[in-house]
Amino acid sequence: MTRHALLWAVKDHWHLSSPLPLVLALTLGLVLLYVRRTVVWGRRWLTAVILGYWAMATPMGSWLISVPLAYGQHRLASASEAAGAQAVVVLGGGILSRAADGMVIDDVMASGLRVIEGVRVYRLLGDPWLVVSGGITQRLQVPRPESAALRRAAVSLGVPPGRVLEDDKSLTTREEAVEIARLLAERHIDRFVLVTSPLHMRRSMAAFQAVGLNPVPSASQLGGDSDDPFWTLLPDRDSLNLSDGAMYEYAAFVYYWSHGWLGKPGR
């Protein structure tokens, strides 16, 4: 399996909100039910799966899962906090493109909150470079890098096209750190603001520090403006996606740590 194919498989199928893990979990429970010696374990397994998914798909459950990652993540409040910053770097968080009859529309999904934060910081700092990052993460006949969709979103919010730079090669946070370090060095930029989601910020900062960079963090909002009650027991898609992102980050953090891709401030 090629590297691209492996990444696509992980992003498409091996997520909490993907149908495949749920189907496999339920199938295992059914198998246990049909074996006389494991009927009790089958009942316990199915109960745990159903209650677990239900909890993770509620606002309170997703908050409990994500708060250890998101707690303490800061949003830039004034230009003085990033004095001397010459660029704002926005890391992509996935897009969804719909193609038919030779036409394509891109949905930036949760990456939209990152773009909004990046544009907010861009305005706060005056007129720095805005770097958007993300390679080709979808299987389309005509490849479309994520960075292109983020660029269009930023321009639609008022950023001049000539001030937007693209990293259209990177497929992982590690690759973004390496590629953006090169891109910034070419323009003699040594101080910049890093924008990504609160869940992704700890790993991103550590990944950039591992390649010798020390950005100023500014986390996007965890979720968009919503009037949904926090205490509801009804599951919803946004909460499941939030839990999904948090579980992915926990696994990715362990993976990066095992490969030595996490640095420390000042390294």
Longest dimension (CA), the chain: 69
Give how far Cα 248 sits from Cα of 15, 86, 102, 180, 219, Å: 7, 31, 34, 23, 18
Residue 226, pLDDT score: 59
Burial class (CB in 10 A: 0-12, 13-18, 19+), 175: middle
What CA–CA distance (Å, rounded) separates 251 from 217? 22
Nearest Cα residue to 210 out of 160, 176, 171? 176
Residue 97, pLDDT score: 83
What pTM was estimated for this model as a whole?
0.90
C-alpha 140: how far from its chain's center? 21
Residue 260, pLDDT score: 95
Residue 164 phi, psi dihedral angles, 5° rounding:
-105, 125
Q: Can you read off the two tokens belonging to residue 19?
A: 């149908």
Which CATH class, in words, describes the domain spanning 74-225+234-258?
alpha beta
Q: Where do the H-state alpha helices sit in the chain?
A: 3-13, 19-33, 39-56, 59-70, 111-125, 146-156, 173-186, 198-210, 237-258
Residue 126 phi, psi dihedral angles, 5° rounding:
105, -100
Residue 114, pLDDT score: 97
Q: Can you read off the two tokens belonging to residue 111?
A: 């990456």
What CA–CA distance (Å, rounded) separates 236 from 11? 20
Q: What is the mean pLDDT of each run of 10 residues along the chain (267 residues)?
A: 60 76 94 94 96 94 94 94 96 87 85 96 96 85 85 96 95 95 95 97 97 96 70 87 93 95 79
Q: Can you read off the two tokens belonging to residue 177?
A: 């750190």
Give how far Cα 8 sits from Cα of 2, 140, 260, Å: 10, 12, 23
Residue 41, pLDDT score: 96
H or E element, residue 263: none
C-alpha 159: how far from its chain's center? 22
